[in-house]
Amino acid sequence: MKYIKSLMVALTVVLFTSASFADTLNDVKARGMLKCGSNTGLVGFAAPDDAGVWKGVDVDVCRAVAAAVFGDANAMEVVPTTSKARFTVLQSGEIDMLARNTTWTFSRDVDLGLEFVGVNYYDGQGFLVPASLGVSSALDLDGASVCIQVGTTTELNLADFFRMHKMEYESIPVETNDEADAAFLAGRCDVYTTDQSGLYAQRSTYPNPDDWVVLPEIISKEPLGPSVRHGDSKWADVVRWSLNTMIIAEEMGITSANVDSHLSSDNPSILRLLGKEGAYGAMLGVNNDFGYQIIKQVGNYGESFERNIGLSTPMAIARGVNSMWTKGGLIYAPPFR
Amino acid sequence: MLMRLLNVSNFSVAKKWVHKNLFSSWASALITIFCFYIILKIIPAGLDWLLFSADFVYNFRGEQIIDRTFCSKVIEPGQHGACWAIIIVRWNQFMYGFYPVEEIWRVNIVFALTPFALLPLFFDKVIFKKQLIYFTFIFPFIAYYLLYGGPGLTEISTSKWGGLLVTLFLGVTGIIIAFPFSILLALGRRSKMPVIKSVSVIFIECIRGVPLITILFFGNIMLPLFLPDGVNVDNLLRGLVAMTFFAAAYMAEAIRGGLQAIPNGQLEAARALGLSYWQSTIQIVLPQALRISIPAIVNSAIGVLKDTSLVLIVGLFDLLGIGRAALADMNWMKLSHEVYAFVAIIFFILCFSMSRYSLYLEKKLKTDNSI
Amino acid sequence: MNGLTLRNIFFDEKIRSILIQAFVVGLIGVGIYSLIQTTSYNLDKRGIDTGFEFLKNPAGYDISLTLIPYTNTDTHLQAYFVGLINTLLIAVTGCFVATIIGFTIGIIRLSTNWLFRNFAYAYVEATRNVPILLHIIFWYTVLLELPKIKEAANFLKFFFLSNRGVYSPALILQDGMGIVFIFIIFSIVFAIIFNIWAKKKQESTGVQLPVFLINSGVIIFLPIIVFIALGMPLLWDHPVLKGFNFKGGMVIRPEFVAMLLGLGIYTGSYIAEIVRSGIISVSKGQREAASALGLKKNIVMKLVIIPQALRVIIPPLTNQYLNLTKNSSLGIAIGYADLVHGFGGISLNITGQAIEIMAMVMATYLTISLTISLFMNLYNKSVQFKGNT
């Protein structure tokens, strides 16, 4: 009995590692490590490579936050989450922030107790088909078998789209990318639908990406962005401005390669961003050079985009709506002052 | 030996054996021929795929394989051996998940210690049994310290654990932690106190009545809702909690079977001698009951170990999960047969040896006939 | 003195038992109370509504395998029933397949042929030592390697095999088919009554009637005669490849087949071992005694061995059926739209009502499990030795 009792006590202690999240920034600093919730594996957004290192645009947001808080972009770890569990783990405090291609919607922002801090990718639900199918529009898909990666809005959008156009389809819902992949490549379904970014990610993993076409129709708008728990605006600010710093850096033409030369710039707004002027870091509760660290270690938004999902990568996604606002896109950040 | 086999009298014995066991009737002879045909068809083809035509580190041209395009079967349609390079290149991931390479020695120590922790649960006569049983119960904590880190060791968060490590961690730790609970549950189910009895029955039946996957979802999605602010349990430990509940309920039933085999008179006699309930239970009833129920416990342990593969559905990278992740990699996709065969072989080795062992125990118990 | 009485009270068996139980009740009460408190606080803080109101909301998603009417405008409750029926469908068919595999392999395990026997042994060990999830995923992967839809293999003229399933002609019922069904039921009822009557007659007079022959004749031929007499009121709806898929006919989807194969083969090898040990448990003496009485080999099997073996087989067999039913929840791994995948997965994702939905799903499985074990216990009692308490 004695052992059993002491075992139970010890077990409780081991299992319940305590952490309070009233002040996430302090907790993160105390831990010396950022816990960032992301995907279980979506190439280009968050996926481990052969060496087990996580890479992707979502991971870069995590890295930027780590660079801002610790001055070290590697002081973070990716916690893979399923679409079902992602909000629960954020709310319970297991992770400090969520950067997992998650759509910013009213009910999530208001009702689920999340706070979205920005958008790092403007997405929309699309369709991927084999080129050999000879389909050029989603309106030709009457009677097709459709593989759906089970999310929260994907199957609803799909059902609405087909009902609206009075078309029929066979739905094959799958839990993860890998399954969807296996089923789609084998020809179990004609069409694969999820967010367009996901479709590009998927296509890039195929042996001959040119044999597959992403159809032009977008049947929903899906602004993807990082989120934090509701009610901790100090922490939300840190994440928001880490992302904004990456965007502003691109706008100003500062890259990880040339950031050092900008340290002696004449432009006051660049000096503010790099922490040479003003006490913006202190206001945020982090080091004053946080902007410099983010750009130096992670790069600006465009660099992250090109490195992970841009035209030179197998994903080959054009900037499109994700171009800078100065170039006709939607990527925009409030001024840094 | 060979000479003796060729010996005439042995030859006639062999002939008799063959006649009796393979050609006793026309039907039997036909079946034998049919079986031989199948064996001749399957085994050479299977071995050819598994070994003789298979690629390991180099393909048939002698190049080192670094992704699927180097596999012989991808280069040459005529080649059809397995391409084991996917396992070899990702060996560390299959064994340890994303555990940092320079810290892998810690996992290896835990792997090496695991058999010692399991010995007292599975064997009834081991040298140093007393000492080992203490070790068994502190093993989860040693393992946790070594794997997770703490004072003196770098912290390796559980999200970096994966592969065989997670499979064994969930299986072995789950079984060890569940063991004392299962004894209590089994005793509780046989208790004369109605409250204790019904609580045990409800717990056992509720766990056994629902699929493991729902218990895992329960742990994964609902547990955080049940815990107070500031307390949080990470994904792997939530999986462990679910596996422990599951293992405890099934092992409790195995132990109950053992308890039922102990005549009530024994407990009554012990009580009459003035021993308390716990004294008589721990010193007299339990040792015998556990000995009888070891085969059943091993069988439920096999079930638990196999069922750890379900955790991939809640986003943990166990052996099967890591395999599927490897298949999702653009460099290695479409080698599903190799991955599934590898995972199946590992599980087969673990489970088959355990089941042979439980069979041996059952036979031994029968011949011992001590009860 | 006071200490002594307290001591006495503490060591009094009855009082101590009550104290312990009261303590446990209290502990559980406090546990449940604080659990409800924290949970409702958490739910409140996260803005999650509780209650089952969401069941009345439209589900909004489609399910392709539906045995009852369902469209995406139906409610979550309807989606629950669709999932439940799909779960029952795979559980029942899975048990059927597993039983056939199990009995076949179990009997082969006892074959006098050494090679055949060990063949079955190897099969059993190879299948049951591999996780069920791997079985299911493996079979799904195999089925996906079947010909693509455009190259669907045609066999027996009207059947098409592809990795989207087996397409077969479907029956369309015409007027008059109802009469045929009435005759089918009628002939089955007749067969049962005839069976009872023949048994009674055998018991009283010893005359054995060819019951099986007569009954099967009645069940097969009577409806066929009626069917032909009514001018064959049936139409076949043949599947035709149109656009992306076959239109018309029936389809058995690969997700279903993979589940069936995975569950059937895995559980089948457990059943094989149960059958084997059940038959072994009937002692050799019984067999020999029955043969000595001059009974034929198949009669010995039917009247002596099987009834006794069943007594041993049924309890563990029930357990396997229950395991299979629970394992059918793994459909989620390959997209078989069962209760856990559809209602417990997609509905949960959409509504966010994790507690309510998981509670419903768990309660459903618990009900199925308890119902099956209840019926099996009743049946078990009826086949136990009478007079052997």
User: Structure tokens of C139?
Assistant: 């079979």
Q: Do C332 and A175 touch (CB under 8 A)?
A: yes
Return the percentage of chain B with pLDDT > 90, whole number: 22
- Mean pLDDT of the residues in chain B: 84
Q: Do A175 and C333 touch (CB under 8 A)?
A: yes
Which residues in chain A (196-235) have CB-CB distances under 8 A to chain B?
204-206
Task: Number of B to C CB contacts under 8 A, please give it.
Answer: 143
Q: Do C35 and B226 touch (CB under 8 A)?
A: yes
Query: Which pLDDT does position B219 carry in this prediction?
Result: 85
pTM of the model: 0.83
Query: Which pLDDT does position A8 carry in this prediction?
Result: 45
ipTM metric = 0.86
Query: Which pLDDT does position A17 carry in this prediction?
Result: 39
**Residues on chain B touching A182 (C-beta within 8 angstroms):** 327, 336
d(CA C352, CA B292) in angstroms, rounded, equals 47
**Residues on chain C touching B35 (C-beta within 8 angstroms):** 113, 115-116, 119
DSSP secondary structure letter of residue A127: E
Query: Which pLDDT does position C380 carry in this prediction?
Result: 72
Query: Which pLDDT does position B6 carry in this prediction?
Result: 55
- Interface partners of chain C (CB pairs < 8 Å, 3 or more) are A, B
Contact, A44 vs A201, CB < 8 A?
yes
Query: Which pLDDT does position C364 carry in this prediction?
Result: 95
Q: Do C125 and B352 touch (CB under 8 A)?
A: yes
Q: Do B233 and A16 touch (CB under 8 A)?
A: yes
Tell whether the model's pLDDT for residue A21 goes beyond 60. no
State the pLDDT confidence band at B287, using cuts at 50, 70 and 90.
confident
Closest among A230, A275, A291, A290 to A24, alpha carbons compared: A230
Q: Do A94 and B235 touch (CB under 8 A)?
A: yes
Tell whether the model's pLDDT for residue B119 goes beyond 90. no
d(CA B196, CA B198) in angstroms, rounded, equals 6
Q: Closest approach of chain C CAs to the CA of B320, in angstroms? A: 8
Query: Which pLDDT does position B369 carry in this prediction?
Result: 55
Q: Do B340 and C137 touch (CB under 8 A)?
A: yes
B28 close contact with C: CB closer than 8 A: yes
User: Structure tokens of A73?
Assistant: 């972009």
State the pLDDT confidence band at B53, using cuts at 50, 70 and 90.
confident
Per domain, the residue ranges of chain B are 24-88, 90-368
What pLDDT, in 10s, does the model give residues B317-328? Answer: 899 988 888 877
SS3 A34: strand
Letter string b/e over residues C296-332, b meaning 16 or more CB atoms within 10 A of that residue's CB = eeeebbeebbeebbbbbbbebbbbbbbbbbbbbbbbb
- Interface partners of chain B (CB pairs < 8 Å, 3 or more) are A, C
Letter string b/e over residues B54-79, b meaning 16 or more CB atoms within 10 A of that residue's CB = bbeeebeeeeebebbebbbbbeeeeb
Q: Do B144 and A14 touch (CB under 8 A)?
A: yes
Report phi then psi at C210, rounded to 5.
Answer: -75, 70
User: Structure tokens of C136?
Assistant: 């299911």
Best to test chain B binding among A178, A184, A309 (most B CBs inside 10 Å): A178
SS3 B98: coil
Task: Number of A to C CB contacts under 8 A, please give it.
Answer: 97
Q: What is the mean pLDDT of residues B251-276?
A: 86
Q: Do A159 and C62 touch (CB under 8 A)?
A: yes
Which are the contacts of B29, defined by CB distance < 8 A and separation ≥ 6?
Answer: B22, B23
Query: Which pLDDT does position C9 carry in this prediction?
Result: 62
Report phi then psi at C12, rounded to 5.
Answer: -75, 125
What pLDDT, in 10s, does the model give residues A221-250? Answer: 889 999 998 888 899 999 999 999 999 999
Per domain, the residue ranges of chain A are 24-122+224-327, 125-220
Which residues in chain B (295-314) have CB-CB distances under 8 A to chain C?
302, 306-307, 309-310, 312-313
Q: What is the β-pairing status of strands A47-48 and A54-55?
A: antiparallel
Query: Which pLDDT does position B126 carry in this prediction?
Result: 58
B277 close contact with C: CB closer than 8 A: no
**Among chain A residues, CA nearest to B139:** A7
A112-121, B334-343, C67-76, C222-231: least confident range: C222-231
Return the percentage of chain A with pLDDT > 70, whole number: 93
Q: Do A82 and B89 touch (CB under 8 A)?
A: no
**Among chain B residues, CA nearest to C112:** B21
Mind giving me the DSSP string for A283-326?
A: HHTS-TTHHHHHHHHT--HHHHHHHHTSTTSTT----GGGSBGG
In sign, the C-alpha dihedral spanning A221, A227, A231, A236 is negative
Contact, C238 vs C72, CB < 8 A?
no
Q: Do A84 and C349 touch (CB under 8 A)?
A: yes
State the pLDDT confidence band at A11, using cuts at 50, 70 and 90.
very low
Q: Do A77 and B89 touch (CB under 8 A)?
A: no
Q: Do A48 and B237 touch (CB under 8 A)?
A: no
Out of C25, C129, C329, the one facing B351 most closely (by C-beta) is C129
Give rounded-to-5 percent helix, strand, coil for chain A.
40, 20, 40
Which are the contacts of B284, defined by CB distance < 8 A and separation ≥ 6?
Answer: B266, B267, B270, B275
Q: Closest approach of chain B CAs to the CA of C185, in angstroms? A: 36
**Among chain C residues, CA nearest to A91:** C46
Query: Which pLDDT does position B249 carry in this prediction?
Result: 94
Tell whether the model's pLDDT for residue A92 goes beyond 50. yes
Report the DSSP beta bridge partners of residue A149.
A174
**Residues on chain B touching A204 (C-beta within 8 angstroms):** 330
SS3 C97: helix
Query: Which pLDDT does position A200 carry in this prediction?
Result: 85
Longest dimension (CA), chain B: 82
Query: Which pLDDT does position C389 carry in this prediction?
Result: 39
The CATH class that applies to domain A125-220 reads alpha beta
Query: Which pLDDT does position A1 carry in this prediction?
Result: 41
Q: Closest approach of chain B CAs to the CA of C204, in angstroms? A: 39
**Structure-model confidence comparison of residues A203 and C388, the more confident one:** A203
Which of 1.20.1250.20, 2.40.110.10, 3.10.180.10, 1.10.3720.10 is the CATH number of B90-368?
1.10.3720.10
Q: Do A88 and B221 touch (CB under 8 A)?
A: yes
Q: Quick one: A24-122+224-327 is in which CATH superfamily?
A: Periplasmic binding protein-like II (3.40.190.10)
Which are the contacts of A168, defined by CB distance < 8 A and separation ≥ 6?
Answer: A142, A143, A162
Which residues in chain B (76-105) have CB-CB distances under 8 A to chain A?
89-90, 92-93, 97-98
Closest among C267, C268, C131 to B303, alpha carbons compared: C131
A14-18, B305-309, B310-314, C281-285: least confident range: A14-18
Which residues in chain B (2-41) have CB-CB distances under 8 A to chain A?
none
Query: Which pLDDT does position A22 carry in this prediction?
Result: 66
Query: Which pLDDT does position A19 carry in this prediction?
Result: 40
Query: Which pLDDT does position A191 carry in this prediction?
Result: 92
Query: Which pLDDT does position B221 carry in this prediction?
Result: 80
Q: Closest approach of chain C CAs to the CA of B34, in angstroms? A: 9
Q: Closest approach of chain C CAs to the CA of A316, in angstroms? A: 28
Q: Closest approach of chain A CAs to the CA of C98, in angstroms? A: 26
- Interface partners of chain A (CB pairs < 8 Å, 3 or more) are B, C
Best to test chain C binding among B31, B37, B164, B196 (most C CBs inside 10 Å): B31
Q: Do C141 and B336 touch (CB under 8 A)?
A: yes
B31 close contact with C: CB closer than 8 A: yes
Tell whether the model's pLDDT for residue A10 goes beyond 50. no
**Residues on chain B touching A81 (C-beta within 8 angstroms):** 235, 315
Contact, C111 vs B32, CB < 8 A?
no
Q: Closest approach of chain C CAs to the CA of B131, in angstroms? A: 32
Tell me the CB-side half-sphere exposure of residue A45, using CA atoms within 13 A. 28
What pLDDT, in 10s, does the model give residues B1-41? Answer: 455 555 556 677 888 888 877 887 888 888 888 888 988 88
A80 close contact with B: CB closer than 8 A: yes
d(CA A308, CA C163) in angstroms, rounded, equals 34
Which are the contacts of B337, defined by CB distance < 8 A and separation ≥ 6?
Answer: B82, C141
State the pLDDT confidence band at B68, using cuts at 50, 70 and 90.
confident
Q: Closest approach of chain B CAs to the CA of C75, in angstroms? A: 23
In sign, the C-alpha dihedral spanning A276, A282, A283, A286 is positive
Query: Which pLDDT does position B149 carry in this prediction?
Result: 85
Q: Do C130 and B344 touch (CB under 8 A)?
A: yes
d(CA C165, CA B24) in angstroms, rounded, equals 43
**Among chain B residues, CA nearest to A204:** B330
Longest dimension (CA), chain C: 100
d(CA A90, CA A93) in angstroms, rounded, equals 5
**Residues on chain B touching C369 (C-beta within 8 angstroms):** 208-210
What pLDDT, in 10s, does the model give residues B194-241? Answer: 888 999 999 999 999 999 999 998 888 878 778 776 666 778 888 999
- Report chain C (389 residues): mean pLDDT per 10 consecutive residues: 58 78 89 86 74 87 86 91 94 94 91 88 93 92 87 83 86 76 86 87 81 83 82 78 81 92 96 91 80 79 81 86 93 88 86 86 93 82 57
What pLDDT, in 10s, does the model give residues C117-162? Answer: 998 999 999 999 999 999 999 999 889 888 888 888 888 778 888 8
Check if A24-122+224-327 and A125-220 are the same fold. yes
Q: Please, is B112 exposed, middle or buried when counting C-beta atoms within 10 Å of its C-beta (0-12, 13-18, 19+)?
A: exposed
